[in-house]
Structure 1
Amino acid sequence: MAETVDTGQPAFGQPLGKAVFFGGAIRTLRPDRPLLEAVGVAGGRIVCTGSRAEVQSRLTTGDGRRPRPVDLKGLALFPGLVDAHTHLGSYGLRLDWVDLDGVASLEEACGTVARAAAGAAPGKWVRGGGWNKNLWAGGRLPTRADLDRAAPGNPVALSSKDGHALWLNSEALRRAGITRDTPDPPGGEIVRDRSGEPTGILKEKAMDLGYRVVEQPSPEEYAACLERAVRLANAHGLVGVHDMEGRSSFRACQALAAAGRLSLRVWMYLPAEHLGSLEDVGLEGGFGGPYLTVAGVKAFLDGALGSQTADLLRPYEGSQGHGLPTMEAEAFTDLVARAVRAGLPVAVHAIGDRANRKALDAFEANLAATRAARLRHRIEHAQLVHPDDIPRFGRLGVVASMQPIHAPSDRDIAERYWGKRCADAYAWRALADAGVELAFGSDVPVETLDPIQGLYAAVTRKHPLDPERGPWYAEQALTLPEALWAYTGGAARAVGAEREMGTIEVGKRADFTVLSDDVLADGFDPEALLRVRVVATVVGGSVVHGEL
């Protein structure tokens, strides 16, 4: 039997108008109707499903005008994929900056910077990122002296791969006014040498001391970079993202949306330091339109594994250090209480097991108010969770927003610094079995934006660029249906959008990802994900990538 619903108007782009999709595997991700023969779309919504004849009949007008036929020709159509954790503006900017991702030595990194500086005007900032000391012989932190030799005539600012450390040269330190007398800010560290002089590395909240003087792009430049990132997201099959950035990115998204060029649904988590302003104006989670929505606020409780600033219950292997907490437990509990009263869900960065426990404690302390307000909080990354805390996610209704590609990317440094605790790291299976809602993303530009690579990591516990290497703690892998759900239904539930998207059913948005292969077909080999291509991306009934 066919289903039908009324609809509104399409949004932008290359609209298909009234259309019927057929001729391929149409995967709904609904347990009651997992596979459809045809889907009817009009005005950016799914308006009917059923057989091809039924759907065509429903969409044929009284004067005989038929809907556009979209023959999938054996392709597979899925609910649109959503990346549940991005830094999209940073990704767009990094496309034009010095890229040190994967650079295998300090010498090579400095050579790359030297070439960039040689092409820059004297005194012009050299920006970049992606450096990873854990790949370099000896694993030492770089210094300002290293950069001074590479770029003697330019200030240089380079973010680490994990985004939790900033590497500056002497000129950049001078412009920032950072000296031996500059105190460490709360939740941050100015790394110093034995004599007390700054080495050029700023960790966590100390990075703000550098960023405040770094040359920033104009609003127009930022919007152009963001638009490039949006187009690349569409090319990877993404119909939406949960973005964890600030004012510049939010303004750029508004500009693109107003111009009809935001071909991606963006749920923005604004920095928690702006909570007071959001309280003052009464802005609640869910405010916005179909392409840009304020989802909540984003806070930080610790740093990252790569910088050894993730906050741990027990010290790092071979060290007495526990990491670097960026907010005290009492302060975070109070922040959650304020956000709940304001109607704003909280997304909190927590990587270490102590940080995750602090986050859960704060959410539990505010549980009654959270349920009354019908809000969904979430923990971003949740990379190392103590086994005692895994069931708490489910009991408290906290979403685990995780990035599958981190596990195989981090495995070597995790083994180095976390040792046997790795058995409880990136514990997707344990969380899923505890009834926890998983929402998967990429953390771009830290890792690749490609969700197919994320799916591969989730189901194989291997890196897609190193498939011959054996799986890492394979018992924590997910099935393909589970992993796909985390990029669709789980991502929708994480922002309260499950009535609008996440599955293919009547009334929901016509947001689809069309793949070359039916990855849910019986007998599909997960290794074949490495050959799967995104053929087309449809947002609001408009083709925003590829052809159909």
Structure 2
Amino acid sequence: MPETRAGTAASDLVLASVRFAGTTALRNVHLRGGLVSRIAPAGDAAGLPPGVPVLDLDGRYVIPGLWDEHVHMTQWALAAHRIDLSGAASAQSAADVVRSFAAQHADDGMPVVGVGFRDAVWGDVPTLELLDGATRGLPTALLSHDLHCVWLNSAASARYGVPVDATGLVREEPAFELTRMLGQLPDAVVDGWVREAAQTAAARGVVGVVDFEMTWNRPVWLRRIAGGFDSLRVDAGVYPQDLDRAVADGMRTGQLLDGGAGLLRVGPLKVLIDGALNTRTAYCVDPYPHGGRGLLTVSEGELLALLVRARDAGFVPAVHAIGDGANEVALNAFQAAAIGGRIEHAQFVRTEDLPRFGALGVTASVQPAHALDDRDAADSNWAGRTDRAFPLRSLLAAGATLALGSDAPVAPLEPWLAMSAATTRNGRDGRAPWHPEQALTRREALTASTRGRGTVRVGDPADLAVLDGDPFAVSEAAFAAMPVAATLVAGRFTHRGGL
């Protein structure tokens, strides 16, 4: 079948002899003009349009294409080319990993960048002295897994003009600014890495992402699409510092930005109002064991003003709120502004606030893999209250709409991993499931990963994934590593594995 450039629809096509998840009947799915135009029994030969290519899928399963509702696409692409510290069990072991790398690259003169450390569960603590002793004077910056903290050595502090204390740590906005500086590589290099990451995502059935990269993202994505990027749809978020520019340009959430290509749209307005669990900066009602309640970085009054501005300008707000105190503040502001939207993360929610998501029309944009990655940090910092941490079942039962994502690079851009985490609450590490009462069914997880579609219907975009097994029937291991035979965006193959 001929393929087309960018997001334009391919020629008409019939996907023949397919099944839908949880069913056994064979069907033919007709694609026309980038949409699902007809669904008929597989034996309905009379309904096959003359001259239209027919691809026999031999009983494979077709589902709506998957969306990752929260990624930092450039950071995800960069992470694959940085030192992986996710396995470091202590500050000392992280320093040892960096020491080995620095010994091999002492003559390169290039900064050393690592990603993925989790100091919230370490028995020791990061220090400037420890990192200086491991790095041979090479400028070194290590990004925490949640991106809210960076551990620097003295050489990096001097190079980037970022002052540090004896810990070597910077948090929140200084960490974000440093992360942006570390990503300033040649466009051609970064764009190539992003294209590779997107192709990998397409091979897992992903058709779209909501990109919350902390930058003015419109020109970046237009450049990438003009340069040949065509694997995914992208909803590019806007941050408050760029809202005036976006409004002046007539932008609004959902607006198509790349014309006929059809891949790039304006995403939500992203507002961060607290920190993260790993850095103990998520804003909570009760104090942390070490003291303090975290950080509320945007007051309720300031947030209300932003939501009113978003409402009047046609932007859907997406409010980062992790702690239960931050979620309460966010919901209060949504209610006062009389606007729906999204809360990103909703990791820790007061019981009385759960029904407010549904009542206010606020989507819970959640990342199920975090529940497994952060269970130890949650148990130690929110002890006795983790029955309402990562409360997926409670949110759904209270009427909330769920949207699943990864927050890549915090967790991998891998929707089957996210769905497996949501349905098992088990990281396959031999430990008992963590709060299994908060698990979703596979059908619920799939619906939350396909923008509410759940199954293929006439009139839907021809954004589809073709699977080698029934996602509602395969084993847990097979579900988490689901084999994807093909992925289509607007009826055009973005991944075709052996068909």
The two structures have a TM-score, normalised by structure 1, of 0.84
The separation in 2 between residues aligned to 1:341 and 1:541, in whole angstroms, is 35
2:382 is paired with a residue whose SS is helix
Q: Contact between 1:10 and 1:541, CA under 8 Å: does it hold in 2?
A: no
In structure 1, the partner of 2:11 is: 17
Structure 1, gaps ≥5 residues long: 1-8, 180-189, 194-198, 371-375, 491-500
Decide which of 461, 475, 479 is 1:509's aligned counterpart.
Answer: 461
- For residues 182-227 of structure 1, the C-alpha deviation after alignment (integer angstroms, 9 at most, x for no partner) is xxxxxxxx6x44xxxxx32001112245346547112222211211
Q: Contact between 1:89 and 1:249, CA under 8 Å: does it hold in 2?
A: no
Shift of 1:333: 1.1
Relative distance call for 1:133 and 1:358 in structure 2 (3 A) is same
In structure 2, the partner of 1:258 is: 226
Q: Does residue 395 in structure 1 map to residue 359 in structure 2?
A: yes
In structure 2, the partner of 1:451 is: 415
**Number of residue pairs matched?**
491
In structure 1, the partner of 2:315 is: 344
Give structure 1 regions of 4+ aligned residues with deviation exceeding 6 angstroms: 13-16, 33-36
The separation in 1 between residues aligned to 2:418 and 2:179, in whole angstroms, is 31
Decide which of 67, 71, 78 is 1:82's aligned counterpart.
Answer: 67
Relative distance call for 1:530 and 1:378 in structure 2 (3 A) is closer
Q: Contact between 2:153 and 2:168, CA under 8 Å: does it hold in 1?
A: yes
The separation in 1 between residues aligned to 2:470 and 2:181, in whole angstroms, is 50
| TM alignment of 1:127-142, pairs within 5 A | 127-136=113-122, 138-140=123-125, 142=126
Relative distance call for 1:279 and 1:502 in structure 2 (3 A) is farther
Q: Pairwise CA RMSD of aligned residues?
A: 2.5
In structure 2, the partner of 1:408 is: 372
The separation in 1 between residues aligned to 2:252 and 2:488, in whole angstroms, is 29
Q: Does residue 119 in structure 1 map to residue 105 in structure 2?
A: yes
The separation in 2 between residues aligned to 1:89 and 1:502, in whole angstroms, is 29
1:262 is paired with a residue whose SS is coil
Shift of 1:173: 1.4
Decide which of 442, 457, 464 is 1:480's aligned counterpart.
Answer: 442
The separation in 2 between residues aligned to 1:106 and 1:340, in whole angstroms, is 45
Shift of 1:247: 3.3
The separation in 1 between residues aligned to 2:85 and 2:218, in whole angstroms, is 26
Decide which of 280, 304, 325 is 2:248's aligned counterpart.
Answer: 280
Relative distance call for 1:170 and 1:528 in structure 2 (3 A) is same
In structure 2, the partner of 1:533 is: 483
The separation in 1 between residues aligned to 2:141 and 2:216, in whole angstroms, is 19
The separation in 2 between residues aligned to 1:441 and 1:241, in whole angstroms, is 9
Decide which of 153, 161, 167 is 2:145's aligned counterpart.
Answer: 161
| TM alignment of 1:166-205, pairs within 5 A | 166-179=150-163, 192-193=165-166, 199-205=167-173
Q: Does residue 308 in structure 1 map to residue 280 in structure 2?
A: yes
In structure 1, the partner of 2:56 is: 71
Structure 2, gaps ≥5 residues long: none
The separation in 1 between residues aligned to 2:95 and 2:370, in whole angstroms, is 26
- For residues 395-422 of structure 1, the C-alpha deviation after alignment (integer angstroms, 9 at most, x for no partner) is 1000000011111221111111101110
2:378 is paired with a residue whose SS is helix
Deviates more, 1:201-210 or 1:87-96: 201-210
The separation in 2 between residues aligned to 1:213 and 1:432, in whole angstroms, is 39
Decide which of 274, 291, 299 is 1:320's aligned counterpart.
Answer: 291
The separation in 1 between residues aligned to 2:303 and 2:54, in whole angstroms, is 53
2:368 is paired with a residue whose SS is coil
Q: Contact between 1:122 and 1:153, CA under 8 Å: does it hold in 2?
A: no
Percent identity over paired residues: 38
1:50 is paired with a residue whose SS is strand
The separation in 2 between residues aligned to 1:60 and 1:486, in whole angstroms, is 33
Relative distance call for 1:294 and 1:121 in structure 2 (3 A) is farther
The separation in 2 between residues aligned to 1:260 and 1:218, in whole angstroms, is 17
The separation in 1 between residues aligned to 2:64 and 2:178, in whole angstroms, is 42
